[in-house]
Amino acid sequence: MSQPATETSDNRISGRFGWLRTASTPVLRFNFETAARALRLLDEAAVRHLEPGTSFRLTFNDVSIRLDELAAAVLDDGDARSRADELRRGNAAIRVEFERERAHLAERRAAEARARMRQYHRYQASCRVAFRNQLSTNPFESREI
């Protein structure tokens, strides 16, 4: 059975997997119940081994917490700042890559749409030519009855 999280005098919430400083970390101002649940769910060892760029969102009681921000708060102070910076840089790189991929996809879709339109125009032109040919070769056109 897990030990419940408790609030300490120095505005830290300590629990089975570490602690979360709430007063000195403005990004992580959420209620005690939410922090206690987050600490019960997250293993400090798992948080320490997050890959740079990993960004998940945990939502409790309509309060959203980014996992990399939570990791920065759970880790020791010395390691937290550098790890949080590393995670932010990774997140920024992922965002840039995502935007690049989205732009590439938009270009590809536009090129496919242009190709379909060219194909449609060629089809229309061939229909017009076939219609003209049909009119000019109509056996009833110049035949006398």
Segment 71-127, tens digit of pLDDT? 555 544 455 566 666 666 766 677 777 777 888 888 899 999 999 999 999 999 998
pTM recorded for the entire structure: 0.33
Q: Where are the beta strands (DSSP E) in 83-138?
A: none
Count the Cβ atoms, other than its own, within 10 Å of residue 69. 17
Of the candidates 21, 139, 113, 117, the one whose C-alpha atom is nearest the C-alpha of residue 71 is: 21
What pLDDT score was predicted for residue 99? Answer: 77
Chain centroid to Cα 97, Å, comes to 11
Tell me the pLDDT of the chain averaged across its residues.
61
